[in-house]
A = this chain, B = another copy of it.
Amino acid sequence: MNRVQRKRDERVRRILAAAAEVFGERGYEASTLEEVAERLDVTKGSLYYYFAGKDELATAAIETLGTDWTERLEALAESLVDTPRAERLRTLLREHIAIAVLEYPAALRLFLVPDSWPAALRARIRELRRRHDQVFRREVTTGVAAGEFRVVSVDATLQAMHATMSQAPLWCSHLAAEAREQAMDDLADTLLGLVSSPR
């Protein structure tokens, strides 16, 4: 029974990966279950054995991706407890951008789910974002409290960071490897400037 369970989990994982890929590339509306199925080399019908429908699949894909992403950032933050605040924030920003650009270039589209979705799903996604937001929010608020960072508004600052990081792939994806690294560095440094406003 345990082996069965593991096999099913593995199956689900593969489906979610394919789904995240497709939804990311095309956006929710333009994605078709047919394409997801095709990348997995199964038939459309099979997907319904694991997911109740398109919405469920998209939500699960977002959730998986979001959780993975958040956990990696949390782990990174953890490992930098002894690093100076500004340096730690820069590293987190840089890593976030790198994940966005290199691994989930279409996350922006993925998170632009239709307004018509059931409230429950929307709430789920909002929760994901909240947890994701926490990683950076903690850094900013503690930095401000410690007097090392200065911001106009914590909310506005975080919004600017998230917006910029999520759109980064739009600018960086088409660059050559070296230029891309540079662009990502610049972006992280620029965002770091947000927490040290002029007096």
Which positions in A face B, CB cutoff 8 Å? 25-30, 108-109, 112, 114-115, 151-153, 155-157, 159-160, 162-164, 166-168, 171, 183, 186-187, 189-191, 193-194, 196-198
Chain B residue at smallest Cβ distance from A191: B160
Q: Are B29 and A186 in contact (CB under 8 A)?
A: no
Q: A30-B29, A193-B193 are in contact. Are A160 and B164 (CB under 8 A)?
A: yes
Could you show 23 A-B contacts with beta carbons less than 8 Å apart? Answer: A26-B115, A27-B114, A29-B29, A29-B30, A108-B112, A151-B193, A152-B190, A153-B186, A153-B187, A155-B186, A156-B183, A156-B186, A159-B167, A159-B168, A160-B191, A163-B163, A163-B168, A166-B167, A190-B197, A193-B194, A193-B198, A196-B197, A196-B198
Tell me the complex Cα distance, A163–B108, Å.
Answer: 11
Tell me the complex Cα distance, A27–B28, Å.
Answer: 10
The 4 closest A-B pairs by CB, nearest first: A29-B29, A153-B186, A156-B186, A163-B167
A155: chain B residues within 8 A (beta carbon): 171, 183, 186
A190: chain B residues within 8 A (beta carbon): 151-153, 156-157, 160, 194, 197
Q: Is the interface of A mostly helix, strand, loop or mixed?
A: helix
Number of copies: 4
Q: Are B163 and A27 in contact (CB under 8 A)?
A: no
